[in-house]
């Protein structure tokens, strides 16, 4: 294990709360593998302090960049001076680079990371219906990634109707051939995605009843901090289950290239 020194640089991942954040155990070793003296540190930042925290840390040359997770992705978008195409469509940012002039440049890599993970696991079939539960920051990014990846049929479910209707309208505007519906059913699903925070705590309810999923349906639960009850229940039915760690691993090279400046918006 390498310890940081005064010459090391830090990528901060902001969450609220942050006790569930598992990302540093994957990011820091990846940085070392790439020959970077970088370390990731998780930090609990209340939403009201996000802007001042980012602006203060961005002034230090020891800060390599920022990673945003629940609940900060929409607010981080508003803080950026410039954003990439995915972030512009989704209205969220999960990655911020600090440029030489202090400008904050943001992008969203959740959708691309999700799609790459689903493809690697062999669970992305563009001809089968994908059901995404959740239209928050992660849900918007995942739906956008699926649409950009050539998915033909998408169903989006959300506890509150407003965000899902707005997302569906934006997707229809950019992907007119994409079949989108908002009906709460799962009988034709080839892939079911939990894009909510349900499962972070052991006491959380399941995002849906796994008994409603077809026997050949795959499941992608984006929670990376723990093996959730939803994952266990779906696996018990014999369904193929992929967790959020796969999504993290696929985002690692994308975000690192962005922080280094190799990936321009």
Surface-to-core class of residue 54, CB atoms within 10 Å of its CB (0-12 exposed, 13-18 middle, 19+ buried): buried
- Check 73, 103, 152, 201 and give the catalytic one: 73
Rounded CA gap, 221 and 162, in Å? 23
What span, in angstroms and rounded, lies between the C-alpha atoms of 247 and 257? Answer: 16
CA dihedral 92, 172, 125, 132 (to 10 degrees): 50
Of 177, 182, 123, the C-alpha closest to 150 is 177
The full length of the chain comes to 265
d(CA 110, CA 199): 18
Could you confirm whether 73 is annotated as catalytic? yes
Q: Helix/strand/coil (H, E, C) string of 175-238?
A: CCCCEEECCCCCCCEEEEEECCCCCCCCCCCCCCCHHHCCCCCEEEECCCCCCCHHHHHHHHCC
Q: Return the active site residues.
A: 73
């Amino acid at each position: 294990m390498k310890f940081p020194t005064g010459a090391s640089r830090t990528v901060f991942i902001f969450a609220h709360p942050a006790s569930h954040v598992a990302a540093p155990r994957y990011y820091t070793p990846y940085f070392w593998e790439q020959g970077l003296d970088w370390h990731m540190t998780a930090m609990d930042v209340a939403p009201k302090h996000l802007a001042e925290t980012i602006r203060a840390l961005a002034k230090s040359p020891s800060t390599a960049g920022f990673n945003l997770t629940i609940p900060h992705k929409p607010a981080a978008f508003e803080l950026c001076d410039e954003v990439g195409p995915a972030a512009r469509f989704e209205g969220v940012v999960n990655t911020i680079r600090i440029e030489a002039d202090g400008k904050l440049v943001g992008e969203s890599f959740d959708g691309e990371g999700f799609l790459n993970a689903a493809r690697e696991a062999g669970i992305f079939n563009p001809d089968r219906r994908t059901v995404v539960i959740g239209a928050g920051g992660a849900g918007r990014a995942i739906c956008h990634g699926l649409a950009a990846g050539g998915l033909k049929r998408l169903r989006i479910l959300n506890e509150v109707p407003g965000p899902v209707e707005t997302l569906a309208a934006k997707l229809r505007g950019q992907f007119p051939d994409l079949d989108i519906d908002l009906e709460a059913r799962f009988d034709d699903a080839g892939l079911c995605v939990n894009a909510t925070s349900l499962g972070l705590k052991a006491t959380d309810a399941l995002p849906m009843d796994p008994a409603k999923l077809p026997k050949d349906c795959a499941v992608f639960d984006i929670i990376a901090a723990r093996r959730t009850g939803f994952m266990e229940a779906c696996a018990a039915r014999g369904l193929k289950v992929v967790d959020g760690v796969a999504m993290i691993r696929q985002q690692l090279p994308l975000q690192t290239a962005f922080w280094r400046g190799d990936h321009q918006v």
